[in-house]
């Protein structure tokens, strides 16, 4: 076996173009023992077939408490973080099945379709505001890609939209700290503030049940043992964070890809019906969730020629899988007309993204509207100067300065 390079999952330079190093690792050591900052080794998965197999294999578990002794479990119950982590993405069946069933219905393509008009109105309002400014330069993330999905998910949940700057601060801090133990310690205060905010919100909403997602969850909570309060808080936390952090990157990365490949931009402008296909290609090309959330090996097993031990952490690189030449022709090229595109940007298996229909709809409306209304948009800085967020999980720029 040839020597594998060290993989950098954090720095802005590595995030701007992680694909060459993924290519090296994929061909030399596709189930790669990656040394993490906390001293542990995580298995990093870079081949498409391996990624698919692990995401669908329930021997790779999400609820790490199953690996602990009763005494260890008791200790973590006191932990600030556990108040927000009793959600479906940290659960295995049967808890996962129960929690997901409570919200599944609200995110089906049919129900999400009812939000189309509202999303279009919001997209237009945001562009109206951009056009009203004297400055012909603006940050696409701040002015458009962030506010659109956060307003949609807060309205769906029934959370006051004016609090969105606070969620952004809290959730950015949490997500940018993933994989970095010291940074995680520094987020404790933010976790506590977020939890208190959610507790207070639930109390207020209990007084007057609204016809929104939180209202429906409160009814479920009151109706029996389907949902306890910690699970309710964790559910709202997950939906708020998953509902906007990722879609921001779909819009940002998608527009960035078009600005970097003007012939693809022109093709889409001349053929607006390609938008659905284009969104799938943006999801594959710069996958907004670069690495899946952590899984643990639930029992000793062999995978890809490696002996894995119970409790080993596993990271599936969706970005690497989505650039695997065994699964995609010319994977490093952006092709909005690509037909064979079974990308893993929304994961796979039981944790397949609940919000995929909503994210797709938001992405399609957002990018189509931007191209229609600001057709001559261009990057206001060289692409090499863009700063990519340091989050291990997410792939997206902090700011996207553009001019029109």
Give residues in contact with ligand HEM (CB under 6 A): 88-89, 100, 107, 238-239, 242-243, 246-247, 250, 288-289, 292-293, 318, 345-347, 350-351, 353-355, 358-359
Q: Which residue, 28 or 293, is less far from ligand HEM as judged by CB? A: 293
- The Cα 112–Cα 221 span in angstroms is 23
- The Cα 15–Cα 392 span in angstroms is 9
Q: Which residue, 85 or 292, is less far from ligand HEM as judged by CB? A: 292
SS3 59: coil
Residue 121: CB minimum distance to ligand HEM, A: 18
Residue 129: CB minimum distance to ligand HEM, A: 23
Q: Which residue, 4 or 241, is less far from ligand HEM as judged by CB? A: 241
Residue 353: CB minimum distance to ligand HEM, A: 3
Q: Which residue, 150 or 402, is less far from ligand HEM as judged by CB? A: 150
How far is CA 201 from each of CA 15, 39, 163, 189, 233, rounded to the nearest angstrom?
Answer: 36, 38, 11, 18, 10
Residue 227 makes CB contacts below 8 A (sequence gap 6+) with 99, 102, 217, 220, 221, 235
Q: Which residue, 99 or 191, is less far from ligand HEM as judged by CB? A: 99
Residue 360: CB minimum distance to ligand HEM, A: 8
Number of neighbouring beta carbons within 10 Å of residue 265:
20
Point out the residue whose Cβ comes nearest to ligand HEM.
355
DSSP characters for 137-173?
EEEHIIIIITHHHHHHHHHHHT--GGGHHHHHHHHHH
Tokens matching residue 372: 């229609």
SS3 39: coil
The conformation of residue 383, written as its DSSP 8-state character, comes to: G
Residue 231: CB minimum distance to ligand HEM, A: 13
Contact between residue 346 and residue 358 where contact means Cβ atoms under 8 Å apart:
no
Q: Which residue, 172 or 292, is less far from ligand HEM as judged by CB? A: 292
Residue 133: CB minimum distance to ligand HEM, A: 27
- Of the candidates 225, 244, 235, 250, which has an alpha carbon nearest to the alpha carbon of residue 198? 235
Residue 212: CB minimum distance to ligand HEM, A: 13
Contact between residue 51 and residue 344 where contact means Cβ atoms under 8 Å apart:
yes
Q: Which residue, 184 or 403, is less far from ligand HEM as judged by CB? A: 184
- The Cα 399–Cα 394 span in angstroms is 14
DSSP characters for 221-290?
HHTSTT--HHHHHHHHHHHHHHTTHHHHHHHHHHHHHHHH-HHHHHHHHH-GGGHHHHHHHHHHHT-SB-
Residue 124: CB minimum distance to ligand HEM, A: 20
As a whole number of Å, the end-to-end CA separation of the chain is 51
Q: Which residue, 26 or 351, is less far from ligand HEM as judged by CB? A: 351
Contact between residue 34 and residue 42 where contact means Cβ atoms under 8 Å apart:
yes
Residue 32: CB minimum distance to ligand HEM, A: 18
Residue 363: CB minimum distance to ligand HEM, A: 6
Q: Which residue, 130 or 345, is less far from ligand HEM as judged by CB? A: 345
Q: Which residue, 4 or 112, is less far from ligand HEM as judged by CB? A: 112
């Amino acid at each position: 076996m040839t020597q594998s390079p060290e993989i950098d999952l954090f720095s802005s330079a590595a995030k701007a173009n992680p694909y060459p190093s993924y290519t090296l690792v994929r061909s030399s050591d596709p189930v790669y023992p990656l040394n993490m900052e906390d001293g542990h080794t995580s298995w990093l998965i870079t081949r498409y077939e391996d990624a698919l197999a692990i995401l669908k294999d329930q021997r790779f578990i999400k609820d790490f408490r199953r690996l602990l002794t009763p005494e260890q479990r008791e200790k973590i119950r006191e932990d600030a973080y556990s108040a927000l982590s009793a959600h479906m993405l940290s659960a295995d069946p049967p808890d996962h099945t129960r929690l997901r069933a409570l919200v599944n219905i609200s995110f089906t393509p049919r129900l999400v379709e009812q939000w189309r008009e509202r999303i279009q109105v919001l997209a237009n309002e945001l562009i109206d505001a951009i056009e009203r400014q004297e400055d012909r330069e603006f940050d696409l993330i701040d002015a458009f890609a962030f506010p659109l999905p956060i307003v949609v998910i807060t309205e769906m949940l029934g959370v006051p939209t004016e609090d969105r700057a606070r969620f952004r601060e809290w959730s950015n801090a949490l997500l940018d700290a993933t994989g970095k133990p010291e940074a995680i310690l520094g987020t404790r205060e933010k976790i506590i503030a977020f939890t208190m905010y959610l507790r207070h919100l639930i109390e207020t909403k209990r007084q007057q049940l609204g016809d929104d997602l939180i209202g429906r969850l409160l009814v479920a909570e009151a109706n029996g043992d389907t949902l306890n309060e910690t699970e309710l808080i964790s559910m709202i936390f997950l939906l708020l964070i998953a509902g906007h952090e990722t879609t921001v990157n779909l819009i940002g990365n998608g527009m960035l890809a078009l600005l970097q490949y003007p012939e693809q931009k022109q093709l889409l402008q001349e053929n607006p019906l390609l938008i659905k296909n284009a969104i799938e290609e943006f999801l594959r090309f710069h996958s907004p969730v670069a690495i899946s959330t952590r899984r643990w090996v639930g029992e000793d097993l062999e995978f890809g020629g490696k002996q894995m031990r119970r409790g080993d952490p596993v990271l599936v690189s969706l970005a690497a899988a989505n650039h695997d030449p065994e699964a995609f022709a010319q994977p490093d090229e952006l092709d909005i007309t690509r037909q064979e595109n079974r990308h893993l940007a929304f994961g796979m298996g039981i944790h397949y993204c609940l919000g995929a229909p909503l994210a797709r709809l938001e992405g399609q409306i957002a990018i189509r509207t931007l191209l229609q209304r600001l057709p001559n948009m261009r990057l206001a800085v060289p692409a090499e100067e863009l700063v990519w967020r340091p989050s291990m999980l997410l792939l997206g720029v902090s700011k996207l300065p553009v001019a029109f």
